[in-house]
Amino acid sequence: MAETSINQISKKTWYRWSIYINLVLFFIVGLFISLLFIDSFNAGRYLDDTLAYAKAWILIVRDIAFLSVSLALVFFQFFKNLMVIIRRSL
């Protein structure tokens, strides 16, 4: 049942959703780059307090994880769309 509803969606609708998803992903990348900068700056201020320093590093790891996943999705869509363009032009 789910396969039939997915197959009925037109390519134009898929492309439109792809643009919206990419915009959200770029917003997430920008947000977490700024959070990574702030958390890295704060980690440098907490060198004396071991517990606060560990918490700051957990925040840095969170930022890097979100950046990795969102950038992986962006590059996956980029290369997938690039392959579609190459196939159509050949």
pLDDT at 74: 87
The whole-angstrom separation of Cα 68 and Cα 36 is: 12
Answering whether pTM is above 0.95, one says: no
pLDDT of the chain along its 90 residues, tens only?
555 566 677 877 877 888 888 889 889 999 999 999 999 998 888 888 889 889 999 999 999 999 999 999 888 988 888 888 888 887
Which of 32, 34, 52 lies closest to 43 in space, CA to CA?
A: 52
pLDDT of 6 reads 62
Provide the pLDDT for residue 84: 83
> What are the sequence ranges of the domains in the chain?
32-90
Cβ atoms within 10 Å, residue 39: 21
